[in-house]
Structure 1
Amino acid sequence: MDYNKNNELDQANLRVIVASCALVYITVLGFLPGHSLQDYLPVIYYIVSFILLSIGLRQAIARWPGHYPWRRVLGIVHDYTGTCFGLVLGGEAALPLYAVMVWVNLGNGMRFGTRYLIIATVLALTALLVVYQLNPYWQANPFMVLMLLTTSTVIPIYAHMLLERTRKASELAMAATREKSRFLAQASHDLRQPIHSIGLFTACLREAPLGDQERRLVDSIDRSLLNVSQLFRSILDLYTLDNGRVQPKCETFALGDFLADLLRQNAEAARWAGVEMRLRSCRHWTRADRGILATMVQNVLSNSFKYAAHRPLLVAVRRHGDGLAIVVYDQGRGIADEHQGLVFEEFYRVRQVRDKDVEGVGLGLSIVKRLGRLMGLQVRLRSRLGRGTAVSLQGLPRLAAQKPALGVEQQAVQNAMLGGLRVCLVEDDHNVLRATSALLQRWGCEVEAHSSPMGLSSQCEVIVADYDLGQEATGVDCIESLRQQRGWEVPALIMTGHDLERIQAVVQGRNIAILSKPVRPAQLRAALRGMRGGVV
């Protein structure tokens, strides 16, 4: 039952502390009226030797950590030997040292499990019998000895019962967590698919010639879908944070380009909210996890769209000490002082009568705060009623400007339209296949759509595949097979509704891009443009 690799070291540290307390106690006894320090000197000398040996044992545990049963048993014997010596020579006045026996017994059992609890109990009973045989005071008080023997038996039995209950409760909790994880993983995948396909179908409608009324209806569908998608992502973000599964993976990038791209992705949502977004240009570079930072800024922007609708919004990068801060300024109604410390709590919302139509459940800023803590960033909020709110993400490192990764010609290729791009699309969900194929065709791509990975053959320039394609193969298998047929590394993209970290581990080193469903059309278009830049 090693819940912590430092358990044995903790026990060794506590051994030194307890022995030091025992030394102080015995020394104080020697100065009390009716007692002579000379009588306690053998015990004092022994405890000093005990402390020195305990420090040596502690250093050995620190030097060679790990599970060594013989070393743990040796520690128990060491503790009981010292305690017995004090009880034998100290007589009646040394009886409080019996508490050390109880600590040794329970401490080993609680830290290392039932097996060590049994070993410590047997050795404790043996030690008490040894003291009884060697100490006349104990021999003159057999009922006291019986009480101590009973206590040394009953307490460990009760501790064992508590340990078993705790172990069973822990196993049940872990089983429930695993079941919840499986359920959420499956529910996540099943929910992502329809949201993803609806988004693509809506994008197809937007590309079609529509009247004003029909375009307004498409806008309403797309806006509702965006709200559902954001709520869904917030719940998943919260779940992955609770499980400790989010680990930052830092890279160096230009903050200006990063923020400009993020604002482009939110242009449609800003238009629906009547918000004019402005970005103050900057040439700063930083090092951070792009995905986590994008989620943080995205959540702050979403809050501004909800609570500062029809007002301008400014995004800027400021110097903050030796680092940088991303600041989002809005001109909404602001937040009262009494609410400013609470808005980062989960499900907390500052509601007013006119907020009845505002979507959300109050998770956005709490996720920003927790992601910031994970990245070592400070999240600060300044707001005045009637004057607006500023949320800043502080603590980003400021780096020297880097050379652009792409030349001017390559950048022009990436920004080109997708006309004539040959795409092999592999997707086993019929609705997603139809929606993706229709959207790609409207963008001018030549699409080869396949619902099964079996017998796949294509002369494509880009491969777009779902990861989960049933029992026969995965999207990665399809990509590898097509690349082998073509004899070169065809640019490839995986769109998945599964756990992103697991898929990233699978595709590592294979030069395969990943998009997490539900994918916004702008994300897909940008990914395809980027891959086409590698084809031409």
Structure 2
Amino acid sequence: MSLEKNSELDQANLRVIVAACALAYICVLGFLPGHEVRTYLPVIVYIAVFLLASIGFRQVIARWPGHYSARRVLGMIHDYTGTSFGLVVGGEAALPLYAVMVWVNLGNGMRFGSRYLAIATGLALLALLIIYRLTPYWQAHPFMVLMLMITSTVIPVYAHLLLERTRKASEEAIAANLEKSRFLAQASHDLRQPIHSIGLFTACLREARLGQDERRLVDSIDRSLLNVSQLFHSILDLYTLDNGRVLPSYQTLHLGRFLADLVRQNAEAARWAGVALRLRPCSHWVRADPALLRTMVQNILSNCLKYGAQRPVLIGVRKRGDALVIVVHDQGKGIAPEHLSSVFEEFYRVRQRRDKDVEGVGLGLSIVKRLGELMAVQVAIRSRVGHGTSVCLSGLPQALAPRQACVGEGVHQTGLLTGLKVCLVEDDHNVLLATQALLERWGCSVQAESNGLGLASDCDVIIADHDLGNHATGIECIDQLRQQRGWAVPALILTGHDVLAIQAQLQDRQIAILSKPVHPAELRSSLRELGRAAMSR
């Protein structure tokens, strides 16, 4: 509706402008040598009246927007009547007003479609015939009239062909985009599963007693998997942003614990890079989207580990007015001033010597910038070659600590997983085995199920894949178990599908969600939170 209203209003605005130009042209024409003002006075008066009527017509459209076919046709008749009167009275000198006819014809067709283009063309030909019958000059030049009528026909026909090609190209582009979306959705799910299971199997190996050589092999597998996972997430993040499907979902976060979790999740990658991650303690609470903020900070940390290897990285929080600023500072190579204005562009990388071994395609900071714009968070970067780089995320609004935040704070996290009863529901056999093995190594008691049909459990925590085949979804499985237990058992959804779509389905169920591939440290952190919730019941 808004597109149609705007198109009709735009046409009305242009009508007022053209009428004003036509009035100015006729007024100037009256003062040219060999011309008298009184000759053109009827035309001037008529166009002035036409201009006033056009202004009133525009106000009507603005006051009552919408698609009214009769009003659009009336607008065409109004335009052609005014132009025809000027051409009849003005004679030879008024011929340039014919351009107004062409504008009326094409303007209606381009704005409102081929049907209105055909109506405008018919009215234009009728107007030309009437002018021919009423104007001696035109009757004396029949071939000129024939040329004008041919022009009034050929141009709209050509415009119609262009409109049809544009429409077909637009439909094909929309269809191709939908097909691409379906392909990416399915491909991302199919790729997430093996990456997710490999990560969990690797974590199981790390928990085992390995020799030095075997541990080096596991590290190599983990590093390669981390690079693939980060690239995979970056491409999907970029695709999701391009489709405008990312909307912030704000929550109240303890910023210190939030950043501490990220440091723990990056501990292995930091060890491989020889980087000491240092976090200054922070007791502030903030209002933000945890998933988007995690992606932003994670991308910044990934860059620090890539380009600041063997050097410490400091993460801190500052107060700036009523807002908070997250600062991540590394002591790496730094960025030359000529590159700083371009580092937020997609696929832009600052190439230096020996950087050929640095993984990545230059999407990290681009995604940080775009996510920051979604949350009204300003992203700034300062750097000196040879001294390091600082990235600041400013504008994070402070929040009051929720009352329930103190519950269970005194419980030691290290003991939360030992003996924790987990009901694991996953239809992918490899993922089920990998997740079960890892949870059991963490001390959990696991009930592993490949589907949610007729499920019964005395678990403390539920972990379910969202897509469980044709029989049920993870949400339905959690609802069923909660109904059986008689209380809202803490639950976590693991999914390889669109997280935003699933979050919309969760509504107020109090179910956490993680997107595959899930880093083991992130899974462990989430499981600890669920275990704490189960113990505080």
Q: What range is the shorter-chain TM-score in?
A: over 0.9
The yes-or-no answer on 1:422 pairing with 2:421 is yes
Report the Cα distance in structure 2 between the residues aligned to 1:50 and 1:324, rounded to whole angstroms. 59
The letter for the 2-side match of 1:501 is L
Paired position in structure 1 for 2:515: 516
The letter for the 1-side match of 2:472 is A
Contact 1:2 1:111 in 2 (8 A): no
User: C-alpha displacement at 1:502, in angstroms?
Assistant: 1.0
Paired position in structure 2 for 1:309: 309
Bigger Cα displacement from structure 2, 145-154 vs 261-270 = 261-270
Contact 2:372 2:378 in 1 (8 A): yes
Paired position in structure 2 for 1:232: 232
Contact 1:197 1:431 in 2 (8 A): yes
CA-to-aligned-CA distance 1:149-193 (integer Å, 9 cap, x gap): 100100000001111111111111111111111111111000100
Bigger Cα displacement from structure 2, 280-289 vs 431-440 = 280-289
CA-to-aligned-CA distance 1:396-423 (integer Å, 9 cap, x gap): 1443x51244343422348342122222
2:297 is paired with a residue whose SS is helix
The letter for the 1-side match of 2:523 is L
Report the Cα distance in structure 2 between the residues aligned to 1:322 and 1:478, rounded to whole angstroms. 43
Report the Cα distance in structure 2 between the residues aligned to 1:172 and 1:492, rounded to whole angstroms. 43
User: C-alpha displacement at 1:356, in angstroms?
Assistant: 2.2
CA-to-aligned-CA distance 1:187-221 (integer Å, 9 cap, x gap): 10001001111111111122222233322222222
How has the CA–CA distance of structure 1 residues 414 and 14 changed in structure 2, closer, same or farther, with 3 Å as cutoff?
farther
Paired position in structure 2 for 1:66: 66
Report the Cα distance in structure 2 between the residues aligned to 1:414 and 1:123, rounded to whole angstroms. 83
The letter for the 1-side match of 2:144 is M
Paired position in structure 2 for 1:476: 475
The letter for the 2-side match of 1:478 is C
The letter for the 2-side match of 1:53 is A
The letter for the 2-side match of 1:452 is N
Contact 1:296 1:368 in 2 (8 A): yes
The yes-or-no answer on 1:386 pairing with 2:382 is no
Report the Cα distance in structure 1 between the residues aligned to 2:61 and 2:323, rounded to whole angstroms. 41
Contact 1:423 1:463 in 2 (8 A): yes
Bigger Cα displacement from structure 2, 340-349 vs 92-101 = 340-349
CA-to-aligned-CA distance 1:490-533 (integer Å, 9 cap, x gap): 22211000011111111122222111001112222222222223
User: C-alpha displacement at 1:391, in angstroms?
Assistant: 2.0
Paired position in structure 1 for 2:122: 122
Report the Cα distance in structure 2 between the residues aligned to 1:362 and 1:407, rounded to whole angstroms. 38
Bigger Cα displacement from structure 2, 405-414 vs 83-92 = 405-414
Contact 2:4 2:66 in 1 (8 A): no
The letter for the 1-side match of 2:422 is V
Report the Cα distance in structure 1 between the residues aligned to 2:219 and 2:482, rounded to whole angstroms. 39
1:19 is paired with a residue whose SS is helix
Paired position in structure 2 for 1:434: 433
Report the Cα distance in structure 2 between the residues aligned to 1:252 and 1:65, rounded to whole angstroms. 42
The yes-or-no answer on 1:274 pairing with 2:271 is no
CA-to-aligned-CA distance 1:73-97 (integer Å, 9 cap, x gap): 2222222122122222222121111
1:35 is paired with a residue whose SS is coil
Paired position in structure 1 for 2:371: 371
Paired position in structure 1 for 2:87: 87
CA-to-aligned-CA distance 1:53-92 (integer Å, 9 cap, x gap): 2222222322332222222222222221221222222221
Paired position in structure 2 for 1:352: 352
Report the Cα distance in structure 2 between the residues aligned to 1:4 and 1:189, rounded to whole angstroms. 39
User: C-alpha displacement at 1:262, in angstroms?
Assistant: 2.3
Gaps of 5+ in 2: none
Report the Cα distance in structure 2 between the residues aligned to 1:174 and 1:181, rounded to whole angstroms. 10
Report the Cα distance in structure 1 between the residues aligned to 2:256 and 2:93, rounded to whole angstroms. 75
Paired position in structure 2 for 1:406: 404
User: C-alpha displacement at 1:474, in angstroms?
Assistant: 1.2
Bigger Cα displacement from structure 2, 94-103 vs 314-323 = 314-323
How has the CA–CA distance of structure 1 residues 201 and 257 changed in structure 2, closer, same or farther, with 3 Å as cutoff?
same
Paired position in structure 1 for 2:139: 139
Paired position in structure 2 for 1:456: 455
Contact 2:11 2:107 in 1 (8 A): yes
Paired position in structure 2 for 1:77: 77
1:333 is paired with a residue whose SS is coil
User: C-alpha displacement at 1:13, in angstroms?
Assistant: 1.6
Contact 2:261 2:525 in 1 (8 A): no
How has the CA–CA distance of structure 1 residues 474 and 409 changed in structure 2, closer, same or farther, with 3 Å as cutoff?
closer
The letter for the 1-side match of 2:371 is L
Report the Cα distance in structure 1 between the residues aligned to 2:461 and 2:116, rounded to whole angstroms. 61
How has the CA–CA distance of structure 1 residues 100 and 87 changed in structure 2, closer, same or farther, with 3 Å as cutoff?
same
The yes-or-no answer on 1:106 pairing with 2:106 is yes
Paired position in structure 2 for 1:486: 485
Bigger Cα displacement from structure 2, 16-25 vs 405-414 = 405-414
2:410 is paired with a residue whose SS is helix
How has the CA–CA distance of structure 1 residues 319 and 26 changed in structure 2, closer, same or farther, with 3 Å as cutoff?
farther
Contact 2:416 2:531 in 1 (8 A): no
Contact 1:430 1:451 in 2 (8 A): yes
How has the CA–CA distance of structure 1 residues 29 and 320 changed in structure 2, closer, same or farther, with 3 Å as cutoff?
farther
Paired position in structure 2 for 1:43: 43
Report the Cα distance in structure 1 between the residues aligned to 2:62 and 2:289, rounded to whole angstroms. 35
The letter for the 2-side match of 1:292 is L
Contact 1:414 1:532 in 2 (8 A): no
User: C-alpha displacement at 1:254, in angstroms?
Assistant: 4.2
Where in structure 2 are the equivalents of 1:216-227 lying within 5 Å? 216-227=216-227
1:180 is paired with a residue whose SS is helix
The letter for the 2-side match of 1:105 is N
User: Quick one: percent identity of the two aligned structures?
Assistant: 72
Report the Cα distance in structure 1 between the residues aligned to 2:204 and 2:32, rounded to whole angstroms. 93
Bigger Cα displacement from structure 2, 251-260 vs 183-192 = 251-260
How has the CA–CA distance of structure 1 residues 324 and 9 changed in structure 2, closer, same or farther, with 3 Å as cutoff?
farther
2:354 is paired with a residue whose SS is helix
Gaps of 5+ in 1: none
Paired position in structure 2 for 1:184: 184
Contact 2:416 2:532 in 1 (8 A): no
Report the Cα distance in structure 2 between the residues aligned to 1:64 and 1:411, rounded to whole angstroms. 60
Contact 1:343 1:366 in 2 (8 A): yes
Bigger Cα displacement from structure 2, 229-238 vs 103-112 = 103-112
What do you get for the CA RMSD once the two structures are aligned? 2.1
Report the Cα distance in structure 1 between the residues aligned to 2:184 and 2:205, rounded to whole angstroms. 31
Bigger Cα displacement from structure 2, 377-386 vs 233-242 = 377-386
2:408 is paired with a residue whose SS is helix
Paired position in structure 1 for 2:444: 445
Bigger Cα displacement from structure 2, 501-510 vs 283-292 = 283-292
Contact 1:492 1:512 in 2 (8 A): yes
Paired position in structure 2 for 1:361: 361
Paired position in structure 1 for 2:339: 339
Report the Cα distance in structure 1 between the residues aligned to 2:112 and 2:190, rounded to whole angstroms. 43
Paired position in structure 2 for 1:525: 524
Bigger Cα displacement from structure 2, 462-471 vs 316-325 = 316-325
Where in structure 2 are the equivalents of 1:136-285 lying within 5 Å? 136-285=136-285
The letter for the 2-side match of 1:524 is L
User: C-alpha displacement at 1:276, in angstroms?
Assistant: 1.4
Report the Cα distance in structure 2 between the residues aligned to 1:115 and 1:500, rounded to whole angstroms. 43
User: C-alpha displacement at 1:318, in angstroms?
Assistant: 3.8
User: C-alpha displacement at 1:370, in angstroms?
Assistant: 2.5
